Chain A
Amino acid sequence: MTTSNYATERETTEGRVFTVTGGDWDTVVSSTDPINDERIVVNMGPQHPSTHGVLRLILELEGETVREARSVVGYLHTGIEKNLEYRNWVQGSTFVTRMDYLAPIFNETAYALAVEKLLGITDDITERATTIRVLMMELNRISSHLVWLATTGMELGAISIMLYGFREREYILDIFETITGLRMNHAYVRPGGVAQDVPDEAIVKIREFLKMMPKKLKEYEDLLSGQPIWTERTKNVAVLDVTGCVALGITGPVLRSAGLAWDLRKTMPYCGYETYEFDVPTHPDGDVWGRYQVRLAEIRESMKLVEQALDRLRPGPVMVADRKIAWPAQLAIGVDGMGNSLEHVAKIMGQSMESLIHHFKLVTEGFRVPPGQVYVGIESPRGELGVHAVSDGGTRPYRVHYREPSFVNLQALPAMAEGGLIADVIAGGASLDPVMGGCDR
Chain B
Amino acid sequence: MTSPTDKPNDGGVPVPVTPAGASSTAPAEYPPASPAGRGMFGNHGTGDVSGYGGLVRQRQPIEEAARPYGGYFDEVRDALEEAYPAFGDAIEKVVVDRGELTLHVRPERIAEVCQVMRDDLALRFELCSSVSGVDYLGADERRLHVVYLLTSMTYRRRVRLEAAVSAESPHLPSVTAVYPTADWQEREAYDMFGIVFDGHPNLTRILMPDDWEGHPQRKDYPLGGVAVEYKGAEIPPPDRRRSYQ
Check B127–A401 contact: CB distance below 8 A.
no
Contacts of B147 in A (CB 8 A): 373, 388, 401
A143 to chain B, nearest CB (A): 25
Q: Which of B97, B156, B245 contacts A394 (CB 8 A)?
A: B245
B183 interface residue (CB < 8 Å to A): yes
**Cα distance, A74 to B132, chains bound together (Å):** 17
Contacts of B33 in A (CB 8 A): 392-394
A266 to chain B, nearest CB (A): 10
**Cα distance, A83 to B37, chains bound together (Å):** 20
Contacts of A86 in B (CB 8 A): 12, 223, 238-239
Check B34–A74 contact: CB distance below 8 A.
no
Pick from A161-169, A337-345, A364-372 the stretch touching chain B: A364-372
Contacts of A403 in B (CB 8 A): 129-130, 132, 149, 185
Pick from B24-32, B80-88, B105-113 the stretch touching chain A: B24-32
Known A-B contacts A365-B244, A368-B36, A399-B135; A74 and B207 likewise in contact (beta carbons under 8 Å) = yes
Secondary structure of the A contact surface, majority rule = mixed
Check A372–B97 contact: CB distance below 8 A.
yes
A140 to chain B, nearest CB (A): 22
Chain A residues 67-83 with CB under 8 Å of chain B are 73-74, 77, 79, 81-83
Contacts of B100 in A (CB 8 A): 373-375
B46 interface residue (CB < 8 Å to A): no
Contacts of A82 in B (CB 8 A): 216-217, 223
Q: Which of B59, B149, B188, B205 contacts A388 (CB 8 A)?
A: B149
A41 interface residue (CB < 8 Å to B): no
A390 interface residue (CB < 8 Å to B): yes
Contacts of A118 in B (CB 8 A): 98
Check A247–B181 contact: CB distance below 8 A.
yes
Encode contact with A along B205-220: 1 for CB under 8 Å, 0 otherwise: 1111100000011000
Check A388–B130 contact: CB distance below 8 A.
yes
Shortest Cβ distance from A118 into B: residue: B98
A60 to chain B, nearest CB (A): 16
Check A393–B158 contact: CB distance below 8 A.
no
**Cα distance, A357 to B239, chains bound together (Å):** 24
Check B30–A371 contact: CB distance below 8 A.
yes
A44 interface residue (CB < 8 Å to B): no
Check B238–A83 contact: CB distance below 8 A.
yes
Known A-B contacts A73-B206, A371-B59; A398 and B34 likewise in contact (beta carbons under 8 Å) = yes
Check B31–A374 contact: CB distance below 8 A.
no
Shortest Cβ distance from A415 into B: residue: B180
Check A262–B153 contact: CB distance below 8 A.
yes
B60 interface residue (CB < 8 Å to A): yes
**Cα distance, A230 to B88, chains bound together (Å):** 57
Contacts of A372 in B (CB 8 A): 29-30, 62, 97-98
Known A-B contacts A386-B129, A390-B31; A77 and B207 likewise in contact (beta carbons under 8 Å) = yes
Chain B residues 167-195 with CB under 8 Å of chain A are 179-185, 188, 192
**Cα distance, A118 to B99, chains bound together (Å):** 11
A410 to chain B, nearest CB (A): 8
A282 interface residue (CB < 8 Å to B): no
Known A-B contacts A82-B217, A393-B59, A395-B36; A267 and B156 likewise in contact (beta carbons under 8 Å) = yes
Check A370–B31 contact: CB distance below 8 A.
no
B126 interface residue (CB < 8 Å to A): yes
Chain B residues 126-172 with CB under 8 Å of chain A are 126-130, 132-135, 147, 149, 151, 153, 156, 158, 160
**Cα distance, A249 to B78, chains bound together (Å):** 26
B116 to chain A, nearest CB (A): 17
Shortest Cβ distance from A377 into B: residue: B129
Contacts of A392 in B (CB 8 A): 30-34, 37
B42 to chain A, nearest CB (A): 9
Contacts of B12 in A (CB 8 A): 86
A321 interface residue (CB < 8 Å to B): no
B57 interface residue (CB < 8 Å to A): yes
Q: Which of B32, B192, B205, B245 contacts A395 (CB 8 A)?
A: B245
A214 interface residue (CB < 8 Å to B): no
Chain B residues 1-51 with CB under 8 Å of chain A are 12, 29-37
Check A79–B216 contact: CB distance below 8 A.
yes
Which of A79, A260, A361, A393 has the most chain B CB within a 10 Å cutoff? A393
Shortest Cβ distance from B30 into A: residue: A371
Q: Which of B29, B156, B244 contacts A364 (CB 8 A)?
A: B244
Which of B128, B130, B147, B216 has the most chain A CB within a 10 Å cutoff? B130
Can you give 22 A-B contacts (C-beta < 8 A)? A74-B207, A74-B209, A117-B98, A120-B98, A249-B182, A262-B153, A267-B156, A268-B156, A371-B30, A372-B62, A374-B98, A374-B100, A375-B100, A386-B130, A386-B149, A396-B36, A401-B130, A403-B130, A403-B185, A407-B184, A410-B184, A441-B207
Give the 9 A-B residue pairs with the shortest CB-CB distance, closest first.
A249-B181, A394-B34, A394-B36, A392-B31, A401-B132, A403-B130, A74-B207, A77-B207, A364-B244
Q: Which residues of B contact A (CB under 8 A)?
A: 12, 29-37, 57, 59-60, 62, 97-98, 100, 102, 126-130, 132-135, 147, 149, 151, 153, 156, 158, 160, 179-185, 188, 192, 205-209, 216-217, 223, 238-239, 244-245
List 10 additional contacts besides A82-B223, A247-B180, A268-B156; criterion CB under 8 Å: A79-B216, A85-B223, A375-B100, A390-B134, A391-B31, A393-B36, A403-B132, A407-B185, A408-B184, A411-B183
